[in-house]
Amino acid sequence: MPPQASVVTVSKDRKELLSKEIDALIAQDYPKNRFEIIVVDDASQKDDLKALVEEKKKKFQGIVYLRQPPSGPAAGRNLGAKNSGSPIILFTDNDCIPRPGWVREMVAAFSDKNVVCVEGKIETDFPRRLFTNAPENHSGGRFMTANMGFRKPFFDSAGGFNESFGFWREDTELAFRAMEAGKVVFAKKAVVYHPLRKEPWQNVFRYLSFLRNEWLLRSLHPKKFAQYVLPEVKKDLLKAAAIWFAFGFVILTFAIGFYEYSLVVLLALLISTFVIFYLRRDFAKPKLVDQFFYAFLVLCKYLMYPFFLVYGFFDALRVKK
């Protein structure tokens, strides 16, 4: 009997995380002969992922290992889907832990023949901590491949993920195309747990490098972008505008010699940013020095935001050509 679903995951090294993910997939409460696991190795250098997959085969025969040149997650997912023999393709990431009923609930969401794409729930640790990262999706509309699935006929006809995006919004872009072909639904019982991962402080600025993809997405799907993505972008623009207004006041007062006003506004800006994050209930209370450092980084991020937004626009034009 051919598998009903193929679970595709892409990994570049990260052997320990991948091992935990595979174990969680093997432990699914879904018939073992009805789904397969496809691991795509994105040119790992540190870890022998092929040996790991061979070891896991002792517990679960339906696991496949593929390797590609260093091409990124979008290309890896396309390669995995291309080698799938199932009518349903499910995606999750190598640092995720699917809950026991994940495959069953995702497949069940496709029982409606008009459904071509399913996004599932993504949970993480609470409270969150500074300098950690993990996505969340509690009610849908986020379209993240940490927990997502497509009908293979649609996936093949659509050409899979748009690899010109690289990383960020390539999953959203494909979901927008799926909306034109059928239904996109949210399966709240199909849960993937994404633990908080520590990240270097420089990653506070990481989103700035993704602004090109926001422009790309807008150029391809302006109406859906306005509905699903623009509200987030507007919030960032408002934050940047407010910080630049205050920063402009600092520059003006400093230029005309009112140095004490400049200092007061700078301190007020830093303290207000600190207070906003300190009062957030979804964040654990860190050391004060870490909180002030984080507030300073956030201020720098939004000061740089307009420049990266403009750069991203012209970079998106270059990619489209």
Q: What is the DSSP string of 56-67?
A: HTTT-S-EEEEE
Q: Does position 276 have pLDDT exceeding 70, yes or no?
A: no
Mean pLDDT of 35-58: 96
Mean pLDDT of the chain: 91
Compute φ and ψ for 140, nearest 5 degrees: 95, 175
Q: Does position 312 have pLDDT exceeding 80, yes or no?
A: yes
Q: Does position 274 have pLDDT exceeding 90, yes or no?
A: no
Q: Which helix or strand (DSSP H or E) is residue 93 part of?
A: none
Q: What is the per-residue pLDDT for 249?
A: 73
Compute φ and ψ for 131, nearest 5 degrees: 60, 40
Q: Does position 1 have pLDDT exceeding 70, yes or no?
A: no
C-alpha to C-alpha distance for 44 and 68, rounded to whole angstroms: 9
For residues 185 and 246, the model is more confident at 185
Q: Do the beta carbons of residue 68 and residue 42 sit within 8 Å? A: yes
Mean pLDDT of 53-76: 96
Kindly report the length of the chain: 321
Q: Do the beta carbons of residue 158 and residue 174 sit within 8 Å? A: yes
Q: Do the beta carbons of residue 35 and residue 5 sit within 8 Å? A: yes
Determine the Cα angle at 155 with ends 71 and 39, to 5°. Answer: 45
- Which pLDDT band, with edges at 50, 70 and 90, does 229 fall under? very high
How many CB atoms sit inside 10 A of residue 15's CB?
16
| pLDDT tens readout for residues 280-296 | 666 777 777 887 788 88
CA distances (Å), origin 176, targets 70, 100, 172, 181: 27, 29, 6, 9
Q: What is the per-residue pLDDT for 50?
A: 96
DSSP annotation of 70:
S
Q: Which helix or strand (DSSP H or E) is residue 26 part of?
A: helix 15-26
Tokens of 153: 């006929």
C-alpha to C-alpha distance for 120 and 201, rounded to whole angstroms: 29
C-alpha to C-alpha distance for 149 and 216, rounded to whole angstroms: 23
Q: Does position 278 have pLDDT exceeding 70, yes or no?
A: no
- Which pLDDT band, with edges at 50, 70 and 90, does 242 fall under? confident
Q: Does position 279 have pLDDT exceeding 70, yes or no?
A: no
| pLDDT tens readout for residues 139-184 | 999 999 999 999 999 999 999 999 999 889 999 999 999 999 999 9
Segments making up each domain of the chain, as ranges:
5-199, 231-320
C-alpha to C-alpha distance for 133 and 121, rounded to whole angstroms: 17
Q: Does position 263 have pLDDT exceeding 90, yes or no?
A: no
Strand 148-151 relative to strand 115-123: parallel, antiparallel, unpaired? antiparallel
Q: What is the per-residue pLDDT for 248?
A: 77
Q: Domain 5-199, what fold?
A: Spore Coat Polysaccharide Biosynthesis Protein SpsA; Chain A (3.90.550)
**Radius of gyration over every alpha carbon of the chain, rounded to an integer in angstroms:** 22
Q: What is the per-residue pLDDT for 321?
A: 63
Q: Does position 266 have pLDDT exceeding 80, yes or no?
A: no
Q: What is the per-residue pLDDT for 320?
A: 72
Q: Does position 273 have pLDDT exceeding 80, yes or no?
A: no
Q: What is the per-residue pLDDT for 189?
A: 97
Mean pLDDT of 90-101: 96
Q: What is the per-residue pLDDT for 83?
A: 96
Q: Does position 309 have pLDDT exceeding 70, yes or no?
A: yes
Q: The tokens 């679970």 sit on which residue?
A: 7
